[in-house]
Amino acid sequence: MRDLRLGLVFIIVIFVLAFTQIYNLYTKLDQHIEQSRKNNVQTKQQFQLNSEDDIVVVYNRVPKTGSTSFVNVAYDLCKRNKFHTLHVNVTGNNHVLSLANQYKIVQNITHWDNMKPAVYHGHFAFIDFAKFSARKPLFINIVRKPLDRLISYYYFLRYGDNYRPYLIRKKHGDTMTFDECFLKNQADCDPNNMWLQIPFFCGHSVECWKPGNSWALEEAKKNLINNYLLVGVTDELNDFVNILEQTIPRIFKGAGDYFLNSNKSHLRRTVQKTEPSEETVRKIQQHIVWQMENELYEYALEQFHFVKSHSDKLQSFMYEKVRPK
């Protein structure tokens, strides 16, 4: 009988010890699970914080479209909104980058974390980041009526602008009007010079830079829709800035009001410009390059007005019927 009691006591002791051990293991497991949950929450919060700063905007600005006015906004706001603005200055103002330089720029924009969030700008053609297996930034741009852009550039080379009025331009002293230039078939007013907005959106393929190439036009349209966050127009810059502020407030917070009220944002205007005659305009509009460039402009304008019409509406969204609970 005594041996039976000792046996029962032994079994009870073993059971208590085993239960205690199992209880301690479960307690430690619960603590580990809870700590993992907290770590995951902290990681997600940290990721969300970092994702706000992991924004890169690339503005491959077409010359003479109002780009300086817009860039001034970015430079004036970058300190206040805590982002970086960087100018990509290409040797000789060459709009086509070598393959090696395309690769370097893609790597810089993708991995230069100390500069993020950032706005990169420069006069260069669209770069396909997917070609280099890199994350695509937020591309933006502005387009202008092709003949207006050409005439503005023509007189800019002769008279400069009010941004740097004392800088001597390439054609300084040449007082020939655009009409006179066109009648004399001079190179500066060649309609082929309008072939610029299409290749800027088309990219770095050889076909992009052949004036009048229909494939280039279609490629430019495709890139405009698929690879650009927003493309505005020169005559509606205020709306362009406002939509960017609504869409990317991390960068453009306060940009709309600043653009309207700051004199610094409206610095660059060609000093002297003479409008062409109706006859000159009529003849240029018969040229295939004007027709294609104008088609891209009208295409961009329609898309911009579509985006604008939906941005003007008071709209919100919410998530519901989330399963499992």
Per-residue pLDDT of 136-166, as tens digits, reads 999 999 999 999 999 998 998 888 765 555 5
Phi-psi region of 154 (alpha: psi -120 to 50; beta: other; left: phi over 0): alpha
CATH no. of 53-311:
3.40.50.300
118-121, strands of its sheet edge to edge: 84-87, 118-121, 56-59, 138-143, 228-233
- The dihedral built from the CA positions of residue 19, 20, 24 and 25, taken in this order, carries a sign that is negative
111 is known as an active-site residue = no
Residue 49: its pLDDT value, please? 41
Buried b (16+ CB within 10 A) or exposed e, 147-176: bbbbbbbbbbebbbbeeeeeeebebeeeeb
Mean pLDDT of the 210-214 span: 98
Residue 299 pLDDT exceeds 90: yes
**In what helix (H) or strand (E) does residue 260 lie, and over which residues does it extend?**
helix 255-261
Q: Which amino acid is at 289?
A: V
* Better pLDDT: 304 or 273: 304
Beta-strand runs (E) in 144-285: 228-233
121 is known as an active-site residue = yes
Q: Check: CB of residue 220 under 8 Å from CB of residue 292.
A: no
- SS3 of the chain: helix, strand, coil, percent, to 5: 60, 10, 30
Burial class (CB in 10 A: 0-12, 13-18, 19+), 101: middle
User: pLDDT tens, 14-36?
Assistant: 666 666 676 666 666 566 666 65
User: pLDDT tens, 59-94?
Assistant: 999 999 999 999 999 999 999 999 999 999 999 889
C-alpha–C-alpha distance, residues 207 and 197, integer Å: 14
Mean pLDDT of the 215-239 span: 97
Catalytic option among 121, 172, 266, 310: 121
Could you tell me how far CA 207 lies from the centroid of its own chain?
A: 24
Binning pLDDT at 50, 70 and 90, where does residue 175 land? confident
* Better pLDDT: 171 or 95: 95
Q: What is the pTM of this model?
A: 0.81
Catalytic option among 95, 123, 204, 287: 123
State the chain's mean pLDDT as an integer.
87
Q: And the tokens for 308? A: 């604008």
